[in-house]
A and B are shown apart, each in its own frame.
Chain A
Amino acid sequence: MAKQLTKDPFNIIITGVGGQGNVMASRVLANMLVGKGYQITIGETFGASQRGGSVMSHIRVSEKSSWSPQIPRGQADIVVALEPIDAIRVLITYGNPHCLVLTNTRAIYPVGVIAGELNYPGQDEIRKTLTDISAKAWFLDATEEALRLGNPILGNIIMIGATVGTDVLPVTRDDFKEVIARSMPKDKLEMNLIAFDRGVEKIKCQ
């Protein structure tokens, strides 16, 4: 765990495709930070406008105050992507050479790709690009791991675990447990903790 923020405000972007549990992941991570006494601002877009579209949550972490719910261009410190091309999409606007990126490797094809109108880049190309445009890039098979656990939606919790596993943020597994125990039915707690731990392990093994 990091002792404190490396920057104020520290800027986190969680991105993915509508339906991947992006909003839930951002709430969980933000509540963990609120528990540590930080001032948090989350900016989100959701609703009908996001059906099948890219979804982004901007999380600002500060010791002092609220910040804009939209992060300015080029100001992301860490990007957590539930889908690989959305990691690239976010970095194009919000990235910089110091930005860290964690990405789930499972592709969700845009309809334009399915229809043959657009091209989806190959996995090697994605890895090369993300490594090239970030300070450090981690690649995780979070959806596959979630499927092994029995539910693909757990991919978002695996990614939260991985984010905590990087030791960049001043939060721990206990903070996760506390937040999840407050917001989830008891019977789901254990599975979420397992998913979280799998995420941490995936980072520690890299």
Chain B
Amino acid sequence: MSILADRNEGAQVLLMGNEAIARGALEAGMGVAAGYPGTPSSEIIEGLSKVASELNLYVEWSVNEKVALEVAAAASFARLRSLCVMKQNGVNVASDFLLHLAGSGIRGGMVLVTCDDPGALSSVNEGESRHFAKMVEIPLLEPGDFQEAKDMTKWAFELSEELKTLVMLRSVTRTSHASGNVKLGKLPDAAKRAEFRYDGFILDLDTGIMISPPVTYKHGLQQARIARAREIFEDSPFNTYEGPEKPELLIVTSSACNLYSKEAISLLGLKDRVGLLKMGTTWPLPPKLLAKHLAATDKVLIVEEVIQFLEDNVKIIAAEKASAVGVKTFYGKNDGTIPAVGEMNPDIVIGALAKIMGVTYEAMPKDYEQKTQPLTFSMAPNRELTFCPGCPHRASFWNLHVALEKDGRKGFVCGDIGCYSMGLLPCGYNTMKTLHSMGSGTGIASGFGKLGQFGLDQPVLAICGDSTFFHAVMPALVNAVHHNANITLVVLDNSGTAMTGFQPHPGLTVSAMGESVPALDIAQICKAMGAKVEIKDPFALEETQATLNRLMEDTQGVKVLILRQLCGLSPEKKAKKRYEVSVDQAVCIGEGCGCNRLCTRVFRCPGLVWDEEAGKARIDEVICAGCGVCSFVCPSGAIRKQEVA
């Protein structure tokens, strides 16, 4: 049984931040959840989907974040409580509807959870979603630990209904993907019933039509809601203070930085000198509460991640209340005390705090430090990122690399978001030359494909995954076909949203809740759009390479090559070897081969290693996934594969 549906009220359990958020939504009686997978947010919808039938929920992986927000909004309009979940850049995708939804207001409590990724641990940006809350004028909550992640999510639904507005709850990787003790609350039993009323007075928020006009009237309502939120937040239990009555320094913080700050104060032994004001309600900030704490100190350090948000908003309150609270010295991102890029950790806060407070701190004894630090270079060789053993993307990029070399016209690949983003690294033979947002490889290729009139004669390729195809590639492909752009789109179809854990997408026959659903065929869609379509298996190397070369030579319009092969980690394939692969060391000529160790120096699969003693290649049988692709790579034919019975 999933812990999310555990009715053992009061039990202490270990929950991941994302699980705590999901549990909080369930304790609030949420009926509908929608989202699009993206690290570090995916486990919320994933967890909810597993308890959907048991708890009578509707949960879906939507085609993209904007549609997810629309699906969740519909449930709210029908008086159900609904949740929408995405990672930080998903909010950009959803933002057009988000703005209009803030204007129209909502009915059933509705919470937008965004999981930001400071330091871009699993992203190609460190976007900051908090600013959206301020921009579209909706309340913003940030949990400071795991218990709060649950309790605050539950409360967010109540707040949303009280204010009749969407509420945004922002998590970060170190909350979402960290785990801690959580005391379970009660799961409600009440039956959920949906009805959409639209026949009341046009401006009646409960019975009229759901629209954002008349715009200035509705905008005024939205600002009144924010003003009311400001009052409610003055007494919120999610804003806490620990420390002396008159601290020498006040730390104002939120989110995971709460725990880093607490750790830093404890390690430096500054509990009697430094106060910690942890804000859970970060937009709008409650001015009276802030003024009370500002008045008690002269120095303020703001600890937060990514672009300064809390810092600016605290400073506005300090300026407005200056006559009452006095002039403060501020430390934070603006003066460089806290770095403005990358994620935070306890050591950064320790450094900042030690400097301001004039205390010394040694993380480790000097002699230990001197002994260990040089080992980074001599004893701990870096592990660069690479495709998993057996990954079809390694084969696909090898095919692209070989075909582009053979073509010889300096062709290039425009990419986007997925495991295949690593196509820009050595593991993808540095094939990918542009990388931005979901679907943008195809849009950029569409533009490059029209530069022939200015003399651009390089073959233009785009690459995308199957889930990304539905998410954002389709409009770009329409654009490319309609404008007759000369491009080849390679769709890496590994039958799932592999990077984030095999969430289903519209190309598959099973939904998030495990129901049978109609699958949309990527090849048929591309054909219907007017592209020329071919389908190959990337593990059939020679055939795929010949096809790529033929498509690059065809200068007429949009060509689509679908490379279909299951992800090596897919449940159907995992831990099952198709081939037993081995290196015949009698045939391997080692360094004398003249191939520059194509197998290990260039192909770079973690399962095919270099045997230093023998001076030859060797298969690591624990790592090798048995895809057999490397057998095509060795010019001497020393790599053998045998089908596993």
By a beta-carbon cutoff of 8 Å, the part of chain A in contact with chain B is 17-19, 27, 30-31, 34, 37, 39-54, 66-75, 85-86, 88-89, 91-92, 95-97, 106, 108-116, 118-121, 125-126, 129, 132-133, 143, 147, 152-153
B376 near A92 with CB under 8 A, answer: yes
B151 CB to nearest chain A CB (Å): 13
Decide if B610 is an interface residue (CB 8 Å cutoff): yes
Most buried by A among B173, B372, B427, B620: B372
B381 near A110 with CB under 8 A, answer: yes
Most buried by A among B179, B382, B418: B179
A74 touching B600 in the complex, CB below 8 Å, given contacts A40-B14, A109-B620: no
A91 near B372 with CB under 8 A, answer: yes
Which A residues are CB-close (under 8 A) to B623?
Answer: 108
Alpha-carbon distance between A135 and B371 when the two chains are bound, in angstroms = 14
Which B residues are CB-close (under 8 A) to A31?
Answer: 14
Could you list some 13 contacts between A and B, CB below 8 A? A30-B14, A49-B385, A72-B346, A73-B364, A85-B379, A86-B380, A95-B368, A96-B365, A97-B368, A109-B609, A110-B381, A112-B381, A118-B381
A40 touching B181 in the complex, CB below 8 Å, given contacts A47-B122, A69-B256, A133-B372: yes
Decide if B180 is an interface residue (CB 8 Å cutoff): yes
* Interface-lining segment among B97-105, B257-265, B271-279, B536-544: B257-265
B180 near A39 with CB under 8 A, answer: yes
Decide if B227 is an interface residue (CB 8 Å cutoff): no
Decide if B520 is an interface residue (CB 8 Å cutoff): no
Which B residues are CB-close (under 8 A) to A106?
Answer: 622
Interface string of B158-182 (1 = CB under 8 A from A): 0000000000000001110111110
Which chain B residue lies CB-closest to A122?
B612
B375 near A88 with CB under 8 A, answer: yes
Interface string of B603-630 (1 = CB under 8 A from A): 0101011100000000010110000000
A44 near B178 with CB under 8 A, answer: yes
A70 CB to nearest chain B CB (Å): 5
B326 CB to nearest chain A CB (Å): 32
Q: Which of B145, B371, B418, B604 sits near A132, CB closer than 8 Å?
A: B371
Which A residues are CB-close (under 8 A) to B597?
Answer: 115-116
Decide if B384 is an interface residue (CB 8 Å cutoff): yes
B178 near A41 with CB under 8 A, answer: yes
A54 near B350 with CB under 8 A, answer: no
Alpha-carbon distance between A52 and B390 when the two chains are bound, in angstroms = 12
Which B residues are CB-close (under 8 A) to A86?
Answer: 380
Which A residues are CB-close (under 8 A) to B264?
Answer: 72
Decide if B378 is an interface residue (CB 8 Å cutoff): yes
A66 near B381 with CB under 8 A, answer: no
Which chain A residue lies CB-closest to B378?
A121
Decide if B267 is an interface residue (CB 8 Å cutoff): yes
A66 near B368 with CB under 8 A, answer: no
Which B residues are CB-close (under 8 A) to A69?
Answer: 174-175, 178, 180, 256, 259
Which B residues are CB-close (under 8 A) to A70?
Answer: 174, 260, 345-346
A47 touching B363 in the complex, CB below 8 Å, given contacts A53-B383, A72-B346, A95-B372: no
Alpha-carbon distance between A67 and B421 when the two chains are bound, in angstroms = 34
Alpha-carbon distance between A17 and B597 when the two chains are bound, in angstroms = 25
Which chain B residue lies CB-closest to A126?
B379
Which A residues are CB-close (under 8 A) to B575?
Answer: 153
A48 near B419 with CB under 8 A, answer: yes
B363 near A72 with CB under 8 A, answer: yes
Which chain A residue lies CB-closest to B600?
A114
Alpha-carbon distance between A68 and B620 when the two chains are bound, in angstroms = 37
Which A residues are CB-close (under 8 A) to B173?
Answer: 45
A114 near B365 with CB under 8 A, answer: no
Which B residues are CB-close (under 8 A) to A17?
Answer: 383
Which A residues are CB-close (under 8 A) to B179?
Answer: 27, 30, 40-42, 44
A89 near B259 with CB under 8 A, answer: no
B364 near A27 with CB under 8 A, answer: no
B368 near A133 with CB under 8 A, answer: yes
Which A residues are CB-close (under 8 A) to B146?
Answer: 41, 66
Task: Add 19 more A-B contacts to A47-B177, A47-B499, A95-B368 (CB < 8 A).
Answer: A19-B388, A30-B14, A42-B14, A48-B122, A48-B421, A49-B122, A52-B386, A66-B145, A66-B146, A68-B346, A69-B178, A88-B375, A89-B380, A97-B368, A108-B623, A115-B601, A115-B604, A125-B379, A133-B372
A114 near B608 with CB under 8 A, answer: yes
Alpha-carbon distance between A72 and B262 when the two chains are bound, in angstroms = 12
B373 near A68 with CB under 8 A, answer: no
A51 near B14 with CB under 8 A, answer: no
B364 near A74 with CB under 8 A, answer: yes
A46 touching B177 in the complex, CB below 8 Å, given contacts A52-B385, A118-B381, A133-B371: yes
Alpha-carbon distance between A67 and B266 when the two chains are bound, in angstroms = 10
A39 near B368 with CB under 8 A, answer: no
Which B residues are CB-close (under 8 A) to A40?
Answer: 14, 179-181
B388 near A51 with CB under 8 A, answer: yes
Most buried by B among A67, A125, A143: A67
Alpha-carbon distance between A120 and B373 when the two chains are bound, in angstroms = 17
B386 near A129 with CB under 8 A, answer: no
B74 CB to nearest chain A CB (Å): 30
Alpha-carbon distance between A72 and B263 when the two chains are bound, in angstroms = 8
Decide if B83 is an interface residue (CB 8 Å cutoff): no
Which chain B residue lies CB-closest to A30?
B14
A88 touching B379 in the complex, CB below 8 Å, given contacts A67-B263, A96-B368, A111-B604: yes
Alpha-carbon distance between A49 and B364 when the two chains are bound, in angstroms = 29
Alpha-carbon distance between A95 and B419 when the two chains are bound, in angstroms = 32
B347 near A72 with CB under 8 A, answer: yes
Which chain B residue lies CB-closest to A18?
B388
B445 CB to nearest chain A CB (Å): 23
